Amino acid sequence: MARPQPTILLRREIDNTHEIQILKAEKLWTVVYKDQPFNLRQVLWTVNGEVNKYQRTAFPTEAPAKNLADRLNRWFFTSDFAHKQIM
pLDDT of 61-85, one tens digit each? 999 999 999 999 999 999 999 999 9
d(CA 30, CA 41): 15
Domain-embedded: residue 7 = no
Domain-embedded: residue 17 = no
Domain-embedded: residue 1 = no
Confidence grade of residue 2 (pLDDT, cut at 50, 70, 90): confident
Which residue range forms the structural domain that includes residue 72?
28-85
Domain-embedded: residue 34 = yes
Domain-embedded: residue 79 = yes
pLDDT at 1 over 80: no
Percent of the chain as helix, strand, coil, to the nearest 5? 15, 45, 40
> Tens digit of pLDDT for each residue in 9-35?
999 999 888 999 998 888 999 999 999
% of the chain at pLDDT higher than 90? 77
Per-residue model confidence (pLDDT) at position 6 = 86
Q: How many domains does the chain have?
A: 1
Domain-embedded: residue 71 = yes
